[in-house]
Structure 1
Amino acid sequence: MQVAEVMSRHLVTVELDDKLSLVKEIFDHVKFHHLPVLDQGRLAGVVHERDLLRALSPNLGTLVETWRDAATLHKRVHQIMSRKPLTIAPHAALTDAVQLFNQNNITCLPVLQEDERLQGILTWHDLLKHWPGMHAAAAL
């Protein structure tokens, strides 16, 4: 099986200068945990939900929230994103993706076309959803 067969194609992306309030809004309303970050249409990085949680004050939305806590929502994506993420091609084998995940302790791989345009994203969750098919294809 190839990456293109199991990757997520419906992407939500953010830009380098978007505020963390936007990222929080997205993560609060969707069931995924990674956001590709684009700069003029090209992949610049990835924001993981854990990156956001580390950047925001734990006092947000509590009775002890201060102006400094609320100000953490005004930070910009480029301040917390992972830069130069490992990527994979859509025609790569899923076994190559698994190897990248394991060797680099990562949880997502942006999928780039030959022209470096973002085509999708592959996560461990995508692999696990298709595991029976991967196992059957490997046996052939």
Structure 2
Amino acid sequence: MYRFLEATAGEYMTRAVKTVTRDVTMRELQKMFEDVDFNAFPVCENGDTVGLVTKFDFLKCFAFTPARMVPGYDELMARSVADVMTPEFIYVDATTKLTRVLQLMVVHRMKSIPVLNAEQRLVGIIAREDIMQALARSE
């Protein structure tokens, strides 16, 4: 267990991160979720991470409420990531201990957290599967 207590996000994060831009449509986003089976994509523009879009964000645009008329499916699928992304998101840096990453995931019910460097540039993403892998290696 001591090994896990000392482990950092940088040791277990995925470095080759797939990102999206604000103008990606829901149709394109759905295809990306299907193709790579990620839970979230950082939203990047000009090298800056400007938000996060998750499967939950995608699904929210299809939620029905009594106060909202339901637009057509094609209209919903034409919406952009900018319409549904989370612009204020939790992130960590590569030196963040996995214990802290795990705490953030549990408290905020998150599946993935972007990893940014000191210049606020995306360097990776850490997911629940990465934490589980680190725990397994700590036996």
Using the size of structure 1 for normalisation, the TM-score is: 0.82
Match of 2:67 in 1: none
List alignment gaps of at least 5 residues for structure 2. 1-6, 65-70
Quick one: which amino acid aligns to residue 79 of structure 1?
Answer: D
Answer whether contact 1:7 1:123 (CA < 8 A) is retained: yes
Alignment counterpart, residue 132 of structure 2, candidates 128, 131, 134: 128
Answer whether contact 2:115 2:123 (CA < 8 A) is retained: yes
Number of aligned positions between the proteins? 127
Distance 1:27 1:105 in 2: 19
Quick one: which amino acid aligns to residue 74 of structure 1?
Answer: A
Alignment counterpart, residue 24 of structure 1, candidates 16, 19, 30: 30
Match of 2:57 in 1: 51
Answer whether contact 1:56 1:73 (CA < 8 A) is retained: no
Alignment counterpart, residue 75 of structure 1, candidates 71, 76, 79: 79
Using the size of structure 2 for normalisation, the TM-score is: 0.82
Structure with the bigger RCO (C-alpha within 8 Å, sep 6+) is 2
Answer whether contact 1:57 1:69 (CA < 8 A) is retained: no
How far the C-alpha of 1:104 sits from its partner, in A, is 2.3
1:5-24 superposed matches below 5 A: 5-24=11-30
Answer whether contact 2:39 2:112 (CA < 8 A) is retained: no
How far the C-alpha of 1:16 sits from its partner, in A, is 1.1
Match of 1:109 in 2: 113
How far the C-alpha of 1:132 sits from its partner, in A, is 2.1
Residue 101 (structure 2) pairs with residue 90 (structure 1): no
